Amino acid sequence: METIYDVIILGSGPAGLTAAIYTQRFGLKTIVVAGRAWGGQLMLTTDVENYPGFAKIQGPELMKRMRDQVEGLGVEILDVDFSKIDTTKQPYMVTTGDKTIESKAVIMATGADTRWLGVPGEEKLRGHGVSSCAPCDAFFFRGKPVAVVGGGDSAMEEAQVIAKVSPDVVLIHRRDKFRASQAMIDKVSSMKNVRFLYNTQVVEMLGEDKLTGLLLERDSKRWVLPRDGVFVAIGLNPNTKNFTGLELDTHGYVKRYESRAETGVLEYFTKTNVPGIFTAGDVHDARYKQAVTAAAFGCMAALDVQRYLAMKGYL
């Protein structure tokens, strides 16, 4: 007879692994479908200096410590991708290759991937001057000239953060008008150390061991903008392509439904539109996008799962 788990956790970034720590400690039979590229965005990050408890740690090392803790608790981890989840009936069935796993509850913690420009030099220089998170990496560019690429609210937010430490910020947008809200545009425009380049595209990121500049193009003319750092802020792609049956918002993120008991007390914070399926981390969080907030959502999802299973009489 096939094992029916109490909870399947899809994803192995800070949200998924934190959830696993809690569900296992609750005594719930837990399995993590980690993905072939396990660990989430922190596996692509060099220095992490804003995660509590670590003054400075490499992203992959932080994730390895989380994983070691989860495995030390006896949680089963599969380093495979899942191809399908059947949300039409319980127990829920998750398909990974030729294997099907069943569980009474599911936590979706598959994260979101940065939408990169895809230009030469970008991949090679990630973590060496190329970043997608000013709140994470602004510290490394204090006193240095940087650029931000994008035209939406996220780009404006990145520019505001980095402008607090950089004396020279150039915001590069490929169109002649920003998509960001006017209030955000006005706020960034008022910053004396920020200037805009419209109708301009990044053609290449330059440098061998670290970023030295950007090759830009406008009206078929090209020139080099010397920069020590560049923040790509053109959006994220939430990893939801196999989430049939789950309601997504207009940007493709999993919709989260808070629910309250008749007394008004918050009952669930991380539930989705499907009973017994919960969500955690960047797959639903388009705002904060930090490792520590993802971990917090993982904790909340685990608490919600424990409550849900108890209310259903499964525990």
Active site residues: 133, 136-137
Sign of CA dihedral 6, 266, 108, 14: negative
Query: What is the token pair recorded at 4?
Result: 């029916």
Report the Cα 97 to chain-centroid distance in Å: 25
Written as one letter, the residue type at 203 is: V
Cα dist from 310 to 15, 279, 306, 313, whole Å: 22, 18, 6, 5
Give start and end residues of each alpha helix (H) in 102-146.
Answer: 134-137
268 DSSP β-pair partners: 259
Which is nearest to 15 in space by CA: 203, 175, 238, 248?
Answer: 238
CB 304 within 8 A of CB 268: yes
